[in-house]
């Protein structure tokens, strides 16, 4: 445990932002002096469907063995010797079995590793009740699905993790918890924060939110990507956390990447919707006035998070099968490549529809065609292009796996009997069908969910009472805004701001952070809800019902935009070029913003 000015500092490394994150993280984080914890976030929204299918194939699975085989297994001896603790939601749908796998690995190495499992998030036993009660999807209002539910899990909080650490766990494996709990749990344990210390819980959650996406806070996906050195060796983040809730974000020495006000601000706003009300199981966070300060090279201090009592409900997510999909990726080059690609798509869809008709099967439930290389994601704002090489993407959905596999086979015939200049993408050459997993998000009363902590086969009593009492009336009102009158010269938003975007199912967020405080009024004036909706008109499922919410985060001179009912269903279901909405921030950065002529001249100088 490090000390700074006589006070304890807890160092936590963000070692993975997804189940497929890089293997370079752990070795570099282990070089950090006095590091206390490694946190691995494995469960993005798309992961639960994968975990479910693993468990269906083998009831003792429901998690990826990569966590043991690749991420921590090679380092268990060093972790144990140095007293570095590990927290991860890699347990997926079976945290107890993953915990036992880690114990076995430890015994093979002659190590006594105490592994705790946090469970209770699985609420599959309540499905019939929830359906009968008429539970609705929290965003769309759709009724609880009648399809067979594959998994249904509540998003637990941080206190069970803290209880596991209090009981002496070296490694804590969870199922579904909110991502930030992987960091907040250790801070509750180390600093003894009470469950009604809402400002501190919000501050710890902010540290968790910044660390849980791995290198996204240290320069990964940063707007000013040219300023980020050495992607090959990008440094994964370290949070130096203090008992007063302040946190310094940094990275290991001699690594690539960048820790700056911009990289941290982009991650702060990433997928939080209204920064005043970031709902978590333990606290409702207000990040609107968070301050971000550069205090040294690759060292940024964050402070100023506020907390309010949590709600009486957990967020929960159900997954269920939604049919089968086949995706064709067909390279086409040469003269009139775009026209050849479009004709190829028409021909393949006509041919396969006729095959289905001949088999007395329903037609495709959904078809989607994109000619990649023609700025397809820009829609009507695409520049006129006549590329000589493109990648044709065709997506078809069907309820029958055999139908989807048939399309996978037929698409490969284009190389032989359609356009000249057609090639084949080897990775998708073989016939294939992939299962579709739909998500259903809802709220459930906390008293219907029982978190459970077991360590070495012994259940740990959980004595913390859940507090509730969030009152929307306590929120500060959005301040009145007078648009500046001197903005007459257009400049692209990228000259004035950084931006990052990401999906949350059927909506996506775009955080827009002014590069300098004096730019914010001009940004706010041009990025009205109506203007942003017009800019994203191609992205809405129904442009006639376009909805955009605009929130202010004055602490970091920023706006957060929430674009509803867009992107065709999010990362699990969208057939689009950018199913995860990661490019939507880049798209927005081309939007013109009206500024004074003098400012425009200085920006172009």
Residue 44: phi, psi to the nearest 5? -70, 170
Domain-terminating residue out of 438, 461, 481: 438
- Domain assignment present for 576: yes
* Integer Cα distance of 387 and 337 in angstroms: 7
Query: Residue 439, SS3?
Result: strand
* Domain end among 248, 279, 311: 311
The answer to whether residue 270 is domain-embedded is yes
Together in a domain, 164 and 253 = yes
Q: Report yes or no: 37 and 9 within 8 Å, Cβ to Cβ.
A: no
Torsion angle (degrees, nearest 10) of CA 216, 217, 219, 222:
70
Tens digits of residue pLDDT in 412-441: 898 889 889 998 876 555 558 888 888 899
pLDDT digits (tens, 9 = 90+) for 286-304: 999 999 999 999 999 999 9
Average pLDDT over residues 143-158: 93
Concatenated DSSP letters of 201-268: HHHHHHHHHHHTTGGGGTTTT-TTGGG---GGGBPPPEEEEETTS-EEEE--TT-B----HHHHHHHH
Contact 464, 166 (CB under 8 A): no
Helices and strands (DSSP H and E) totals, the chain: 17, 26
Q: Is 252 left (phi over 0), alpha (psi -120 to 50) or beta?
A: beta
Report the phi/psi class of residue 384: left, alpha or beta, with left for phi > 0 and alpha for psi in -120 to 50: beta
Q: Residues of the chain with pLDDT > 70: what percent? A: 97
Could you tell me where the DSSP H helices lie in 379-493?
A: 401-411, 414-417
- Judge whether 460 lies within some domain: no
Q: Would you say 206 and 285 are in contact if contact means Cβ atoms under 8 Å apart? A: yes
- 384: domain CATH number is 3.30.70
| pLDDT tens digits for range 574-594 | 777 777 888 899 999 999 999
Q: Are residues 13 and 161 in the same domain?
A: yes
Nearest alpha-carbon partner for 334 in 426, 425, 424, 420? 420
The tens digit of pLDDT for each residue in 160-219 reads: 999 999 999 999 999 999 999 999 999 999 999 999 999 999 999 999 999 999 999 999
Q: What is the pLDDT of residue 574?
A: 78
Residues 371 and 293 in one domain: no
Tell me the C-alpha distance between 246 and 407, whole Å. 55
Residues whose CB is less than 8 angstroms from the CB of residue 367 and which lie 6 or more positions away in sequence, other chains included: 349, 394, 395, 396, 397
- Residue 1 confidence (pLDDT): 65
Whether residue 219 sits in one domain with residue 297? yes
Note whether 494 and 369 are same-domain residues.
Answer: no
Residue percentage of the chain with pLDDT more than 90: 75
In this structure, are residues 155 and 176 in contact, taking their beta carbons and an 8 Å threshold? yes
User: Taking all residues of the chain, what is their mean pLDDT, rounded to a whole number?
Assistant: 92
Tokens 């590793």, located at residue: 113
Give every CB contact of residue 65 below 8 A, 6+ residues apart in sequence: 101
Give the integer Cα–Cα distance in Å for 5 and 36. 18
pLDDT tens, residue by residue, 240-266: 999 999 999 999 999 999 999 999 999
Instruction: Report pLDDT for 474.
Output: 78
Together in a domain, 506 and 419: no
Q: Give yes or no: residues 303 and 404 share one domain.
A: no
Q: What is the pLDDT of residue 468?
A: 79
341 and 274 within one domain: no
Q: Read off the pLDDT of each residue in 110-119 and give the average, rounded to a whole number.
A: 96
Q: Are residues 383 and 304 in the same domain?
A: no
- Which residue among 278, 311, 344 closes a domain? 311
Give burial (CB, 10 Å; 0-12/13-18/19+) of 428: middle
* Per-residue model confidence (pLDDT) at position 51: 87
For residue 524, the SS3 value is helix
Contacts of 537 (CB under 8 A, 6+ apart): 379, 380, 543, 546
Same domain, 245 and 372: no
Are residues 501 and 578 located together in one domain of the fold? yes
Q: Please indicate, yes or no, if residue 522 is contained in any of the structural domains.
A: yes
Residue 220 lies in a domain: yes
pLDDT tens per residue, range 382-414:
887 889 999 999 999 999 999 999 999 999 898
- Does residue 455 lie within any of the structural domains? no
Structure tokens at 593: 């913003």
Average pLDDT over residues 491-500: 97
Give the count of domains, the chain.
3
User: Would the pLDDT of 605 be above 90?
Assistant: no
Residue 364 maps to a domain: yes
- Per-residue confidence (pLDDT) for residue 471, from 0 to 100: 81
- Does residue 383 sit in the same domain as residue 411? yes
Classify residue 399: in a domain, yes or no: yes
Q: Residue 600 belongs to what domain range?
A: 489-604
């Amino acid at each position: 445990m490090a000390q700074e000015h006589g006070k304890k500092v807890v160092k936590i490394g963000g070692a993975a932002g997804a189940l497929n994150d890089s293997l370079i993280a752990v070795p570099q984080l282990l070089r950090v002096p006095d590091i206390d914890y490694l946190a691995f976030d494995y469960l993005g929204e798309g992961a639960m469907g994968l975990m479910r299918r693993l468990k269906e194939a083998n009831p003792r699975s429901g998690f990826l063995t990569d966590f043991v085989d690749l991420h921590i297994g090679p380092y268990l001896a060093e972790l144990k010797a140095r007293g570095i603790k590990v927290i991860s939601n890699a347990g997926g749908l079976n945290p107890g079995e993953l915990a036992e796998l880690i114990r076995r690995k430890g015994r093979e190495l002659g190590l006594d590793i105490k592994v705790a499992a946090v469970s209770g998030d699985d609420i599959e036993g309540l499905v019939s009740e929830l359906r009968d009660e008429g539970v609705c999807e929290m965003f769309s209002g759709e009724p609880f699905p009648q399809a067979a539910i594959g998994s249904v899990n509540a998003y637990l909080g941080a206190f069970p993790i803290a209880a596991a650490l209090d009981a002496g766990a070296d490694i804590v494996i969870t199922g579904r918890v909110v991502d930030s709990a992987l960091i907040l749990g250790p801070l509750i344990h180390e600093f003894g924060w009470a469950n009604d210390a809402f400002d501190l819980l919000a501050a710890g959650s902010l540290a968790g939110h910044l660390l849980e996406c791995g290198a996204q806070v240290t320069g990964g996906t940063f707007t000013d990507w040219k300023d980020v050195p050495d992607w090959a060796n990008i440094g994964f983040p370290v949070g130096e956390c203090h008992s007063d809730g302040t946190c310094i974000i940094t990275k290991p020495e001699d690594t690539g990447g960048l820790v700056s006000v911009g990289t941290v601000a982009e991650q702060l706003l990433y997928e939080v919707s209204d920064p005043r009300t970031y709902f978590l199981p333990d606290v409702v966070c207000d990040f609107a006035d968070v301050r971000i300060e550069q205090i040294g090279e690759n060292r940024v201090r964050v402070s100023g998070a506020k907390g309010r009592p949590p709600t009486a409900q957990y967020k929960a997510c159900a997954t269920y099968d939604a049919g089968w999909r086949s995706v064709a990726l067909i390279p086409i080059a040469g003269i009139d490549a775009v026209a050849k690609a479009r004709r190829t798509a028409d021909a393949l869809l006509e041919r396969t529809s006729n095959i289905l008709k001949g088999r007395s099967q329903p037609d495709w439930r959904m078809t989607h065609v994109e000619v990649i290389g023609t700025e397809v994601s820009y829609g009507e704002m695409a520049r006129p292009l006549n590329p000589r090489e493109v990648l044709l993407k065709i997506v078809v959905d069907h309820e029958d796996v055999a139908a989807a596999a048939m399309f996978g086979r037929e698409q490969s015939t284009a190389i032989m009997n359609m356009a000249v200049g057609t090639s084949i993408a080897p990775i998708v050459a073989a016939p294939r069908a992939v299962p579709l997993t739909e998500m259903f998000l809802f709220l459930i009363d906390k008293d219907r969910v029982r978190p459970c902590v077991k360590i070495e086969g012994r259940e740990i009593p959980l004595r913390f009472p859940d507090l509730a009492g969030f009152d929307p009336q306590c929120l500060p009102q959005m301040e009145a805004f007078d648009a500046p009158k001197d903005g007459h010269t257009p400049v692209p938003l990228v000259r004035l701001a950084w931006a990052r975007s990401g999906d949350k199912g059927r909506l996506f967020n775009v955080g827009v952070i002014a590069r300098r405080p004096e730019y914010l009024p001009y940004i706010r004036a041009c990025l009205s809800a109506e203007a942003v909706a017009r800019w994203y008109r191609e992205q809405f499922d129904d442009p006639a019902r376009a909805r955009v919410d605009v929130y202010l985060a004055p602490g970091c001179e920023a706006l957060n935009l929430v674009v509803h009912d867009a992107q065709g269903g999010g990362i699990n279901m969208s057939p689009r070029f950018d199913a995860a909405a990661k490019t939507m921030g880049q798209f927005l950065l081309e939007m013109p913003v009206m500024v004074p002529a003098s400012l425009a001249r200085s920006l172009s100088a």
